[in-house]
Amino acid sequence: MDSLFLLQFACFIFMLINGLFVGLSHLHVRWENKRYERSRWMIVVAMIGLAIQYAVQMVFGFRAADDSLGAVINILVYTPCFSLISLGIYNIETTRSNLRKMILMCSGIYAAIIVVFCVGISFHHSLYIREGLYVMLALFCLSVLYCIYMIIQEMIRRKNMLETMAATDMLPYVRYSRASVIILWLAVLAMPIAIFSTTLLYIVGPAVLLALLFFNLTFIALGSSYIPTEELLYKEEESMKPNVECGASGG
């Protein structure tokens, strides 16, 4: 049993345990927040998707056969899973209309990746799509950078709103925000390297797993510290947005 298979198996178990951990923590919340719960299940689905990807890699040996072949499979799975995690983060921060815009953008980029993948297969008649792989990687990085930009912008706006309108302890939210940014930036720096180099994967992989664990723990801590008065902030924020947009259009 080689080291790559052991690493994939460890990642498979890690994703399953984390998904189970995040999902079962629902049983221990004092107050249920619909927005937070939507984000929870987005993250759980992403963890399960990543676990399935590692299982597929172990069974069919794409990565063991060739780095570029494994990279194609990785991009096809990592992109929607990373988008789900990003949408889970963004969902807590933003309004429904902004969330829909981000869903459309992420879906559009992933559709472009699928198109490139299909065109590459039709040209080369195999999963070794050569230059198409670099186009897929560029689209993946575009998706990640777009998500990071949108999330950071929304985090800054929401933090300012909470400081103005809420008299509660902001430490859980601050920790969650920092953990979110850390895991997103690690994905930007690590994923292209890990996708193309199996050797560097042994170094980068554990760091990304630790960052993901830290994010999941702070996400759960945020849900445990939630209080019902925050629903008033969400409702006021939703009601203020149409008024602001009407005022802008009227000006």
pLDDT number for residue 226: 65
pLDDT given for residue 235 in this prediction? 52
Please report where in the chains the tokens 């080291």 appear, as a residue. 3
Q: What tokens does 29 get? A: 């919340």
What distance separates the 2 farthest-apart alpha carbons in the chain? 68
Which ranges of the chain have pLDDT less than 50? 167, 169, 229, 232, 236, 244-249, 251
DSSP for 19-52, please give it: HHHHHHGGGG-SS--HHHHHHHHHHHHHHHHHHH
Domains of the chain and CATH, by start = 3-242 (1.20.1070)
- Confidence (pLDDT) at 232: 46
Query: Which one, of 162, 155, 192, 164, lies nearest residue 79 by Cα?
Result: 192
Angle between helices 198-224 and 171-196 (to 10 degrees): 160
Half-sphere exposure of 44 (CA within 13 A, CB side): 14
The reported pLDDT for the residue numbered 18 is 92
> Taking a C-beta distance cutoff of 8 angstroms, is the pair 96, 238 a contact?
yes
pTM of the complete model: 0.81
- For position 248, what pLDDT does the model report? 45
The pLDDT value given to residue 49? 94
Question: What's the number of CA atoms in the CB half-sphere (13 Å) around residue 48?
Answer: 9
Residue 42 has a pLDDT of: 93
